[in-house]
Structure 1
Amino acid sequence: MVDKIYKHIIVEKKDGVAKITMNRPDKLNALMSEMNFEIISALRDLDLDDSVRVVILTGAGRAFSAGGDINQMQEKYYKLDGLELRRTLQQGVKTVVSTIWNMEKPIIAAVNGPATGAACNIAFACDIVIASENARFGEVFIRVGLGPDGGGSYLLPRLVGIHKAKELFFTGRIFDAKEALQLGLVNRVVPSEELDSTVMDFAKELVQRPARALGVAKKAINEALNMSMEQTLDYEMTLQSLCFQTDENKELVKEFLEKKRKKD
Structure 2
Amino acid sequence: MSSILLKIENNIGFITLNRPEVFNSFNREMALDMQSKLDECAHDTDVRAIVITGAGKAFCAGQDLKEVTTPELMPGFKKILEEHYNPIVSRIRNIEKPVVAAVNGVAAGAGANIALACDIVVASENAAFIQAFSKIGLVPDSAGTFFLPRLIGFQKAAALMMLGDKVSALEALQMGMIYKTFAAESFESDVQKLAETLANMPTKAIGLTKKLLNESMNNNLDQQLALESIWQIEASQSHDYNEGVNAFVEKRTPNFKGN
What secondary structure, in the 3-state scheme, does the structure 1 residue paired with 2:178 have? Answer: coil
Q: Which moved more, 1:217-226 or 1:245-254?
A: 245-254
Aligned match of 1:91 in 79, 83, 97?
A: 83
What secondary structure, in the 3-state scheme, does the structure 2 residue paired with 1:34 have? Answer: helix
Provide the rounded CA distance (Å) in 1 between the counterparts of 2:159 and 2:136.
Answer: 16
1:133 maps onto 2:133 in alignment: no
The match for 2:55 is 60
- What pairs with 1:20-39 in structure 2 (closer than 5 Å)? 20-39=15-34
Provide the rounded CA distance (Å) in 2 between the counterparts of 1:79 and 1:143.
Answer: 20
Deviations 1:190-226 (A, max 9, x none): 1111111111101111112111011111111121121
Provide the rounded CA distance (Å) in 1 between the counterparts of 2:128 and 2:246.
Answer: 46
1:148 is aligned with what amino acid?
Answer: P
**Percent identity of equivalent pairs:** 38
1:151 maps onto 2:146 in alignment: no
Provide the rounded CA distance (Å) in 1 between the counterparts of 2:191 and 2:225.
Answer: 32
1:226 maps onto 2:218 in alignment: yes
- What pairs with 1:144-183 in structure 2 (closer than 5 Å)? 144-183=136-175
The match for 1:14 is 9
1:217 maps onto 2:209 in alignment: yes
| Gap runs ≥5 in structure 2 | 253-259
Q: CA deviation at 1:49?
A: 0.4
Provide the rounded CA distance (Å) in 2 between the counterparts of 1:202 and 1:248.
Answer: 20
Provide the rounded CA distance (Å) in 2 between the counterparts of 1:133 and 1:256.
Answer: 37
Deviations 1:9-32 (A, max 9, x none): 110011111100000000100011
Q: CA deviation at 1:129?
A: 0.8
1:227 is aligned with what amino acid?
Answer: N
The match for 1:3 is none
Q: CA deviation at 1:79?
A: 6.0
Q: CA deviation at 1:258?
A: 3.5
Q: CA deviation at 1:252?
A: 1.8
2:101 is aligned with what amino acid?
Answer: A
What secondary structure, in the 3-state scheme, does the structure 1 residue paired with 2:70 have? Answer: helix
2:106 is aligned with what amino acid?
Answer: P
Provide the rounded CA distance (Å) in 2 between the counterparts of 1:131 and 1:259.
Answer: 35
2:107 is aligned with what amino acid?
Answer: A
Provide the rounded CA distance (Å) in 2 between the counterparts of 1:202 and 1:258.
Answer: 26
Deviations 1:69-95 (A, max 9, x none): 111011259966xxx742442110111
Provide the rounded CA distance (Å) in 1 between the counterparts of 2:246 and 2:171.
Answer: 44
What secondary structure, in the 3-state scheme, does the structure 2 residue paired with 1:57 have? Answer: strand
Deviations 1:143-170 (A, max 9, x none): 1110010100001111111111110111
CA RMSD of aligned residues (A): 1.7
Provide the rounded CA distance (Å) in 1 between the counterparts of 2:34 and 2:166.
Answer: 25
| Gap runs ≥5 in structure 1 | 1-5
The match for 1:42 is 37
1:237 maps onto 2:229 in alignment: yes
Q: CA deviation at 1:247?
A: 1.3
Size of the aligned set, in residue pairs, is 252
Asked if 2 retains the 8 angstrom alpha-carbon contact of 1:20 and 1:58, the reply is: yes
The match for 1:73 is 68
Q: 1:157 to 1:240 in 2, by over 3 A?
A: same
Given the two structures, how large is their TM-score scaled by the length of structure 2?
A: 0.93
Q: CA deviation at 1:249?
A: 1.3
